Structures are given as structure tokens and as C-alpha cells.
């Protein structure tokens, strides 16, 4: 067991099966489906709430996601918010045990295409994250809520999301990277 | 918004436990790496697809079995609003390749030391705030386009979910076998 935990990398099939079993547990014990992106709305809303309380409280979208039936808001720091924060800790543990934890500002593939500038990578990451969440909230979920949880429930919404995001992802990757690094970069 | 900011301790604890396991698995699977995610969209590394399809197949079998046995009362299917699902998904794909992580893997990547993921998370929170402002417009424009309700593939095709699950399992296993066979010696270098 200790050896397994210290391994740098696990088979994707094992990891996928593990996530599948984790989904059983969330359905059975918690009556929940894995998801991560709604809490980004909660984070944004509670940050803005400190400066523009009235605006946030009357915003249709915050009310849609967090409005309680009897008025006011449901807890922002809920099951999913806790899950999101714990994702950082879980990955930290895995990386630390496996000896793969390292500070990285510019990933190798990005550097091969756009150079080693940290500033440029951060601008790309910021814009990417910005676009990512707009898409996720428009679609009603992300790779977790739609991609895994929704797909495993065979939801039409989720498979539509999955196929659509894969198509634009492939086009974007082709546009950004072309044929950079022709050798297969299987790690 | 802050009057009852925290859910009850049990809910939070269960969320923490789920997140710890999920984050651990994602990192061990390598899908918290920018190069792995982007190279999936370039068909050079199929780790993401292998992981997701395994999770979907295993998850589907267990969740539908529990539903059939009455161990769980209901599913949590999100309503199909095909316009929003397709356009939102399309926008998501662009963001995912530019950032190199999705929301969950960005959080996990932050835990393994990827500083760019933290910047991406900040961008994502700003994106969420902007979406909250444009939501009324988006909803008005194509919110009701292709609104089919909380429908599953099995419901749409009028077949048992097990028919879909069997087909999905067969397709995924075939794909896995094919991917493993075509792997040339250079890939393991």
C-alpha cells in the first residue's frame, strides 16, 4: 500500500475507476454528484458581496445558484466549496508522497511554443480561466459536473457539453500549437 | 449572503473527504499536468480520455445498479438546454486549452505546485462574476433553445439505460484496447 501511494503515477484506468467508485459514494452517502464549478460563482459572489451587497443580493444568477426557497441565500461554503478547497490538499498529498511536487510557472509545452516568459503564461492562464468559467456556467457544469457526473448518468445535457468542448478544444489546440513538438510527449 | 455562509459541519466534512480523494486521484493520474491535458486535444496523449471514460463506465454501472436496487432514490441529471450546453461547452473547450486545466484540475494543479493554475483560478472567479452579470442576456437570447428537460440518452432513445451502458462500455473497452495496441515503442521513452 505504501509503495502504491509513493508511486509517481497511477494507471489512468485505475484512477478513472477510482473516480467512478468515488461517484458511487457521493450518490449513496451524500446524495450528491461530483461537481466543482458552481463554487466559483459562490466565491465571486461572496467577494463582490463585501463591496456591493445590494447588487449581489439582487443578481438573478446568484439567486439562481444560491437563492434559498424562503428568501435569502443558501450557504456558500457548502459541500462543493469544501470539496474544491480539499482538491488542493488531496493533490498536494499525492504529489508529496509521489515526489512529483514542484513549483512550476511555465509548463514545458507552453514554453516550447510561447517561450519562457512567466508574464505571458500568466496572461494566458488568466484569460483561459476567465473563458473557462464563462463556458462552464453557460453550459451548467464543467468537466466534473457534466463531463464525469452527468455523462455517467447518461444525461443528454452532459454528452452535448462533452462533445462540444472536445471539438473546440481540438480546434484551439491546433490553432495555438500546430505541430509543435512532433514527437509524442507521452509521460 | 454571509448570514449563513457555512453549511453544517457534517456536510463540510463529507465535502472535504470527497475533495481529498478526488484531488489525490487526479494528481496520481497525471491529469493535473498542463502538458497532459493539452496533448489530449492534440491526440498525443490519451490519459485524459482513458481516465474520463473509465470513470464514466464504472460510475454509470454502479450508480444505475444502485438506482435499480433502490439504494439511491434518484439521479441528479442536469436539464438539457442544448443551446446553452453546446455553446457553453464550446467556450469551455477554448478556455480549457488556453489555461491547460479545467476548474477541478486547476485546483488540484495548484496543490502540486503549478503556479499558473492559481492565476487561472483567479481568472475563473472573475469569469464567474462576469457571467453573473451577463446571465439575464444569455438566458433571454438562447436559454430556451433546445430545452428538453432532465432527459437521459436512454430516455431520449426509449431504451433501458443498460442498453446505453453496455454500448458505452463496449465502445470504451474497444478504444482502450486499440489505444494500447497502437502505442509504439517511442511512446514509452
DSSP string, chain B: --TT-B--HHHHHHHHHHHHHHHHHHHHHTTTSHHHHHHHHTTS--HHHHHHHHHHHHHHHHHHHHHHTTSS----PPPEEHHHHHHHHHHHHHHHHHHSS-HHHHHHHHHHTBHHHHHHHHHHHHHHHHHHHHHHHHHHHHTTTTEEES-BHHHHHTS-HHHHHHHHHHHHHHHHHHHHHS--GGGG-
Could you tell me if A70 lies within 8 Å of chain B, comparing CB atoms?
no
Interface test mutation site (partner A, options B13, B18, B64, B121, max chain A beta carbons within 10 A): B18
List, run by run, the mean pLDDT of 10-residue segments along chain A (187 residues).
91 98 98 97 94 88 92 94 98 98 97 97 98 98 97 98 98 92 54
Could you tell me if A117 lies within 8 Å of chain B, comparing CB atoms?
no
Hey, are the CB atoms on A56 and B128 less than 8 Å from each other?
A: no
Flag whether pLDDT at B189 surpasses 90: no
| Contact predicate A102/B113, CB 8 Å | yes
Buried b (16+ CB within 10 A) or exposed e, A37-54: bbbbbbbbbbebbeeeee
Which of B5, B99, B133 is closest, CB to CB, to A75?
B5
Q: How many Å apart are CA B108 and CA A90, to the nearest integer?
A: 7
Domain ranges (residues) in chain B: 9-183
What residues in B contact A12, CB-CB < 8 Å? Answer: 29-31, 47, 50-51, 54
Interface test mutation site (partner A, options B30, B46, B94, B182, max chain A beta carbons within 10 A): B94
Q: How many Å apart are CA B151 and CA B171, to the nearest integer?
A: 22
- Is-above-0.90 flag for pTM? yes
Reported as a single tens digit per residue, the pLDDT across B101-157 is 999 999 999 999 999 999 999 999 999 999 999 999 999 998 889 999 999 999 999
Q: How many Å apart are CA A26 and CA A10, to the nearest integer?
A: 22
Separation in Å, CA of B99 to nearest CA in chain A:
4
Give pLDDT, residue B75: 97
Could you tell me if B143 lies within 8 Å of chain A, comparing CB atoms?
no
Query: Residue B128: CA atoms inside 13 Å, Cβ hemisphere, count?
Result: 26
Nearest-Cα residue of chain A relative to residue B70: A28
Hey, are the CB atoms on B129 and A130 less than 8 Å from each other?
A: no
Hey, are the CB atoms on B108 and A88 less than 8 Å from each other?
A: yes
Amino acid at each position: 500500500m505504501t509503495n502504491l501511494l509513493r508511486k509517481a503515477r497511477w494507471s489512468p484506468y485505475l484512477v478513472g475507476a477510482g473516480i467512478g467508485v468515488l461517484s458511487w459514494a457521493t450518490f449513496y452517502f451524500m446524495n450528491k454528484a461530483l461537481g466543482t464549478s458552481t463554487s466559483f460563482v459562490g466565491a465571486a459572489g461572496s467577494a463582490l458581496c463585501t463591496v456591493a451587497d445590494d447588487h449581489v443580493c439582487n443578481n438573478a444568477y446568484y439567486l439562481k445558484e444560491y437563492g434559498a426557497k424562503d428568501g435569502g441565500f443558501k450557504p456558500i461554503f457548502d459541500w462543493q466549496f469544501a470539496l474544491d478547497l480539499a482538491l488542493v490538499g488531496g493533490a498536494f498529498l499525492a504529489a508529496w508522497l509521489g515526489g512529483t511536487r514542484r513549483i512550476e510557472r511555465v509548463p514545458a509545452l507552453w514554453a516550447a511554443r510561447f517561450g519562457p516568459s512567466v508574464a505571458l503564461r500568466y496572461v494566458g492562464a488568466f484569460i483561459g480561466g476567465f473563458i473557462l468559467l464563462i463556458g462552464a456556467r453557460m453550459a451548467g457544469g464543467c468537466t466534473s459536473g457534466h463531463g464525469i457526473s452527468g455523462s455517467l448518468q447518461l444525461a443528454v445535457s452532459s454528452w452535448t457539453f462533452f462533445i462540444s468542448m472536445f471539438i473546440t478544444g481540438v480546434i484551439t489546440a491546433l490553432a495555438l500549437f500546430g505541430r509543435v513538438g512532433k514527437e509524442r510527449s507521452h509521460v | 449572503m454571509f448570514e449563513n455562509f457555512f453549511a453544517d459541519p457534517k456536510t463540510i466534512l463529507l465535502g472535504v473527504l470527497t475533495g481529498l480523494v478526488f484531488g489525490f486521484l487526479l494528481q496520481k493520474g497525471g491529469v493535473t499536468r498542463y502538458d497532459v491535458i493539452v496533448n489530449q486535444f492534440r491526440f498525443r496523449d490519451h490519459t485524459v480520455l482513458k481516465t474520463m471514460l473509465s470513470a464514466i463506465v464504472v460510475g454509470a454501472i454502479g450508480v444505475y445498479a444502485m438506482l435499480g436496487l433502490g439504494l439511491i432514490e434518484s439521479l441528479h441529471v442536469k436539464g438539457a438546454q442544448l443551446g446553452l450546453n453546446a455553446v457553453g461547452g464550446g467556450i469551455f473547450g477554448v478556455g480549457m486549452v488556453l489555461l491547460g486545466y479545467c476548474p477541478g484540475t486547476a485546483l488540484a494543479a495548484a496543490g502540486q505546485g503549478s503556479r499558473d493554475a492559481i492565476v487561472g483560478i483567479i481568472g475563473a472567479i472573475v469569469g464567474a462574476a462576469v457571467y453573473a452579470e451577463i446571465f439575464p442576456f444569455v438566458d433571454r437570447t438562447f436559454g430556451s433553445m433546445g430545452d428538453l428537460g432532465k432527459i437521459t440518452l436512454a430516455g431520449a432513445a426509449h431504451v433501458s439505460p443498460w442498453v446505453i451502458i453496455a454500448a458505452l462500455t463496449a465502445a470504451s473497452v474497444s478504444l482502450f484496447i486499440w489505444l494500447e495496441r497502437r502505442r509504439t515503442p517511442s511512446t514509452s521513452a
